[in-house]
Amino acid sequence: MTKKYNMRTRMMLSLTISVSIILLTILISYLLSPANLITDFTKKSLSPNLQHPFGTDWLGRDMFTRTLKGLRLSLFVGFLGAAVGALIATVLGIAAATLGKKVDSIVSWLVDMFIGMPHLIFIILISFAVGGGIRGVVFGVAFTHWPSLTRIIRGEVYAIKSCEYIQISRNLGKSNWYIARKHILPHILPQIMVGFLLLFPHAIIHEASITFLGFGLSVQTPSIGLILSEAVKHISIGDWWLAIFPGLILVCVVKSFDNIGEHFRVLINPTSANE
């Protein structure tokens, strides 16, 4: 009799595949030799072959190496941006729900303002304000990706702060900081982790987007956005591989992170084991 897998088992399998794709991409990017990025005009604009699976660019550089090393940098920038964004969301979400109506009103106003502003425009403005480069992109991504998670955390904290154990702790004279650190934060930690994982793909996409538009990382810094931006100038002459392969790799990695976030959200729900 064929074993019937429940949803949790299928989720674990999909989660394992997604994590493996990301780890394998990062590992291979470290193993690839930087010598593949040296300009060699005798190999310029080669179509994909066994020696160069993603072909070469107009300077004879191996596109497989450029793509994976550029993606590694994009992952690093996306990780920092998502981590800082999740931290901001956690602090503001807890503050809004525990420090009174005035603080709640201020946080709600900030959330509405940031949600109402187009992401790309805000990222570009913040990036310029802090000096551009990697730091500018990280701050730009972080300061525009916290509002939605802040609302979720605020709602979670409001739901649990009236619980009996919170009231007992308050009656015992514990401070708001103690209650937030010992009782509230452990309870909302799964939501923070899920929020961080779901922020990650958005951060990577927005980093690639503003770099593609010329407002992100410098041309000396390899990233997926820069690779795709350069590919646009050469794809019209038939070098289709310069855009197709980096684009597909970006989509696969972003989708893997999205799957990890969605599956983790389901897996931390105990009722999913019986579905």
Taking alpha carbons only, the member of 106, 192, 181 closest to residue 148 is 192
Total structural domains in the chain? 1
168 assigned to some structural domain: yes
| Longest CA–CA separation in the chain, Å | 78
pTM: 0.78
130 assigned to some structural domain: yes
176 assigned to some structural domain: yes
234 assigned to some structural domain: yes
35 assigned to some structural domain: no
CB 190, CB 127: distance < 8 Å: no
SS3 56: strand
218 assigned to some structural domain: yes
52 assigned to some structural domain: no
CATH of the domain at 105: 1.10.3720.10
53 assigned to some structural domain: no
- The per-residue pLDDT for 75 is 84
* Per-residue pLDDT tens listing for the chain (275 residues): 344 456 667 777 777 888 888 888 889 888 888 888 888 888 888 888 888 888 888 888 888 888 888 888 888 888 888 888 889 988 888 888 877 788 889 888 888 888 877 777 888 888 778 776 777 788 888 888 888 888 888 888 888 877 777 777 777 777 777 777 777 888 888 888 888 887 878 778 887 777 777 776 666 667 787 788 778 777 777 788 888 888 888 888 888 888 887 777 776 665 554 55
Domain of 84? 66-274
DSSP 3: P
